[in-house]
Amino acid sequence: MHGVSLSIGGPHAIDSDYLRQLKALADRVQPHWISDHLCWSRGNAHHLHDLLPLPFTQESLLHVAGRVRLVQDVLQRPLVLENVSAYLQWTTSSMGEAQFLAELSNLTGCELLLDVNNVYISSRNQGFDAWQFIMALPHERIRQIHLAGHSDYGQYLIDTHDQPIADPVWTLYAKALSYLGPTATLIERDDLFPPLDELLAELEKARTLAAGVFKRAAPCA
């Protein structure tokens, strides 16, 4: 179960009605995990329908950690949090997003969803090393990987989920798998859907790429 409305980093109280319905749905369908995004998406009582980045400060870390514990107490399971694509940075941040996620996981026991496309987008938009970001995460806490396409506007990238997965994202995915080992992977596509054969070809590419990585990593008999 993957959501976009938890607003785990927001300044307002967690939406208790939403959390109650989420718990009821999880009890009914028994998902392997429940994930959402490390972001905020509510202003006052209104959902902004966007996944907005947090300031990565110690104050923000403690604020989010308390909210994660509350959600996990209700759900009775670890929450899985995804890195978002970001186009701006807070000037008040005192640490990077990867360090923030690692410390948050250590404080709360939450797990992580590594969106490789989001890492690539943010690295291009903000000028950091995408691979160093992935290496800074606690690999044992990564429950799932996401792949998706984006729109390239030259000086910046937008996470649109309406294009094929870009070659640099495939490369980063293969490199990540070589460190993480077999990891559940989801390909996201939200708009401009191509023929089914093209979608299935991306799926097969992910499977073939992963199989090649693990074959090379397997010890010799």
Distance CA 161, CA 165 (A): 9
Distance CA 212, CA 206 (A): 10
Q: What is the pTM of this model?
A: 0.94
Distance CA 148, CA 49 (A): 19
Give the distance between the most distant pair of CA atoms in the chain. 61
Distance CA 214, CA 219 (A): 10
pLDDT for the residue 41: 85
pLDDT at 121 over 70: yes
pLDDT at 153 over 80: yes
CATH code for the domain defined by 16-217: 3.20.20.150
